[in-house]
Amino acid sequence: MSTVTAYENLVDALADAPSHKAFVTLWKSDNDVVSVSFGEFRRLAELKANYFREKGLESGDRIILIMPQSIDLMAAFVGAMMLGAVPSILAFPNSKVEPRKYMFGLSGVSANLKARLVVLDASFPSHLLNCVSADENAQIVRGFDDPLVTDSTPVLGSAIDSRSLAFIQHSSGTTGLQKGVALSHGAVLRHLDNLREAVELRDSDCIYSWLPLYHDMGLVGCFMFPMVHHIPIVMQSPTDWVMQPATMLKLITEYKCTLAWVPNFAFQFLARRVFPEDRLACNLSSLRCLFNCSEPVRAQSMDEFLAAFRPCGVRAGAVLSSYGLAENVFVATLSRPREGPKRIWVDRDVLQEERTALPVHEKSENALCLVSSGRPLPGTKLRIVSPEGEDLPEGKIGEILVHSDYLFDGYYNRPDLTLSGLRDGWHWTGDLGFCLNDNLYAIGRKKDMIIVAGKNIYPQDVEEIAFSHPSIHDGRAVAFGLYNPALGTEDIFVVAEVANEADIKNSNLIARAIRNMIVAELGVTVSAVYVKPAGWIIKSTAGKPARSSTRDKLLAEHPEQFRDPVNSPAPLRTRIEVAGG
């Protein structure tokens, strides 16, 4: 049964926060740390609301915010909601996102939103201005150059109905154009109340985050959640974390943070990139919930993290898991505090060939360890269905369907996508998985599955093997299938980035080793392994490798490898063995 929220809207929740309690601490360096209380943040948001009102923003208008991670961005987001307007944070350009993909996404998403006001940071690149679309009567402003009004504070939340649209958040955009997920105030509040119950939230809790605010993990889990339930948040930018991963541990130690969400790759990244001497200064015993929010959750990644940081006070029961999606506000399932995520061992061949999780002993020769994403959040229900839409029994792999009383209202301004993704109150996620003993095991995206001679190969399995090679950058491998008309089945291709540029000279040896590892582990042959320099793989705005975009880039870069130049436009792959560099 869902918890009944005490607030009519998100702005009311902020208005009820204790003014003097710490809210946001933003770390940029040891010499650049900014902290605001709930009262100070509320005043900043009111000033932004006044600014927007003078710019003509009204209730129901969309506003686009394209700014780096900052308290200013957070205050602008809430300030827009204070007027009943509908904010949407879009990713700020950075060197980690492929420029053409960013320009395409920015142009399409901003055009779809038809915003009345677009706020760009003063440092927003001028050459990207023509990619920003808005309503014909819209204003585009750089930063907040005009003096902020200090009086005429808006009435907080009094005119905002719980059914009103609160904000629009966007999918991670690993393929095609990002979809705007429209969420009402009531939906977000109901979700956050149920999340509070599931994580057993305490008044003494403190969240740590480096997650971007344009993604649901950062926006809902690490901004709306602490704002509504009046707990502090310690933040840093994703770029600062990647450049200095040990700072995450430093901040958790210093501020005694208790909750955090991170994607799967971060566990191995921290274990491999934080020097042992830096670990000695860390005390992570305050952490009671460190959620792996990816699909699928990887046992090896979590085990590496625990082995590295157990001496720093991390308890095994604190490393948890969840399955999240913006369409359900934030998470659909999560493992509960102290329980830890469930693990099962299944027969790999049966999983691949029969799409069935057949439990076996963990020491069995063909055993594959799968980690659950936890149990459904209160108020959320799951179904697993066949391609024909029929419900499947426990242990059978099918598409994951989600239903809740806080499900999204549809994809903004995209009725075509809403009709296909939201049917009879159930969201068809496009993700594959199975349920067992009330736990969800997420396997991966339906569209990414590779079928080789009747075997279902999940690209994540191939990728994990690839980036286990010591020369490959943590988490930087992409696997995909291409149909081979000569064989009537798909061939597997792998692209992997080296961690050190100097290793490119050994690309053929690295590629051959990865290919042999995949054959030994999965029993399938890989047509080619392409070893590339750092930064070659295209990533989504959420930082995840984008398989289809990377595939298209590879096909464009190596047309001679994939096409018969004389007889047919169809890709030819049977002649390829190892392609490096």
194 closest CA partner among 405, 20, 402, 358: 405
User: Does residue 223 have a pLDDT over 90?
Assistant: yes
User: Does residue 576 have a pLDDT over 60?
Assistant: no
Percent of the chain residues past pLDDT 70, beyond the cut? 90
Cβ-contact 424, 416 below 8 angstroms: no
Rounded to the nearest 10 degrees, the angle between the axes of helix 265-273 and helix 246-255 is 100
Least confidently predicted of 1-5, 24-28, 84-88, 90-94: 1-5
Q: Which two tokens stand for residue 580?
A: 């490096």
Domain ranges of the chain: 10-315+326-334, 450-571
Tell me the mean pLDDT in the region 438-442. 95
Residue 317 one-letter amino acid: G
Q: What is the pLDDT of residue 568?
A: 37
Q: Do 10-315+326-334 and 450-571 show the same overall fold?
A: no
User: Does residue 565 have a pLDDT over 60?
Assistant: no
Least confidently predicted of 81-95, 210-224, 245-259, 472-486: 472-486
Confidence of residue 572 (pLDDT cuts 50, 70, 90): very low
Tell me the mean pLDDT in the region 310-314. 95
Distance of alpha carbon 480 from the chain centroid: 20
Q: What is the mean pLDDT of the chain?
A: 87
- The torsion angles phi and psi of 494, rounded to 5 degrees, stand at -130, 135
User: Does residue 190 have a pLDDT over 50?
Assistant: yes
574 closest CA partner among 482, 460, 466: 482
Tell me the mean pLDDT in the region 185-199. 96
Query: pLDDT: is 515 or 544 the higher one?
Result: 515
- Which of 172-186, 287-301, 372-386 is the most confident on average? 372-386
76 closest CA partner among 48, 108, 115: 48
* Nearest 10 degrees: Cα torsion 195, 200, 204, 210: -40
Query: pLDDT: is 572 or 560 the higher one?
Result: 560
Least confidently predicted of 276-290, 496-510, 540-554: 540-554
Task: Note the CATH architecture for domain 10-315+326-334.
Answer: 3-Layer(aba) Sandwich (3.40)
306 closest CA partner among 279, 343, 346, 345: 279
Q: What is the pLDDT of residue 290?
A: 97
Query: pLDDT: is 152 or 526 the higher one?
Result: 526
The pLDDT tens digits for 365-393 are: 889 999 999 999 999 999 999 999 999 99
b vs e for 258-268, b when ≥16 Cβ sit within 10 Å of the residue's Cβ?
Answer: bbbbbbbbbbb
Is it true that the peptide bond before 125 is cis, omega within 30 degrees of 0? no
Cβ-contact 55, 141 below 8 angstroms: yes
Cβ-contact 27, 69 below 8 angstroms: no
Q: What is the pLDDT of residue 543?
A: 63
Cβ neighbour number for residue 538 with a 10 Å cutoff = 22
Tell me the mean pLDDT in the region 539-548. 72
SS3 per-residue string spanning 213-281: CCCHHHHHHHHHHHHHHCCCEEECCHHHHHHCCHHHHHHHHHHCCCEEEECCHHHHHHHHHCCHHHHCC
Confidence of residue 558 (pLDDT cuts 50, 70, 90): confident
Confidence of residue 94 (pLDDT cuts 50, 70, 90): confident
| pTM of the entire predicted model | 0.84
User: Does residue 578 have a pLDDT over 90?
Assistant: no
Q: What is the pLDDT of residue 353?
A: 85
b vs e for 83-96, b when ≥16 Cβ sit within 10 Å of the residue's Cβ?
Answer: bbbbbbbbbbbeee
What residues does 398 pair with on adjacent strands?
A: 433
Q: What is the pLDDT of residue 581?
A: 33
Give, for 518, the enclosing helix (H) or strand (E): helix 507-522
Cβ-contact 357, 434 below 8 angstroms: yes
- The torsion angles phi and psi of 142, rounded to 5 degrees, stand at -100, 115
User: Does residue 144 have a pLDDT over 90?
Assistant: no
List helix spans (H) across 366-481.
415-421, 459-466
User: Does residue 564 have a pLDDT over 60?
Assistant: no
Confidence of residue 511 (pLDDT cuts 50, 70, 90): very high
The residues, any chain, with a CB within 8 Å of residue 401's CB and separated by 6 or more, are 382, 383, 384, 385, 426, 427, 428, 429
Tell me the mean pLDDT in the region 451-475. 85
CATH of 450-571 given 3.30.300.30, 1.20.1560.10, 3.50.50.60, 3.30.2350.10: 3.30.300.30
Tell me the mean pLDDT in the region 245-257. 97
Cβ-contact 250, 275 below 8 angstroms: no
The pLDDT tens digits for 68-90 are: 999 999 999 999 999 999 999 99
Cα separations in angstroms, 236 against 33, 34, 65, 124, 268: 10, 11, 18, 20, 20
Q: What is the pLDDT of residue 548?
A: 81
Percent of the chain residues past pLDDT 90, beyond the cut? 62
Query: pLDDT: is 254 or 570 the higher one?
Result: 254
302 closest CA partner among 317, 288, 287: 317
Q: Which two tokens stand for residue 145?
A: 């150059």
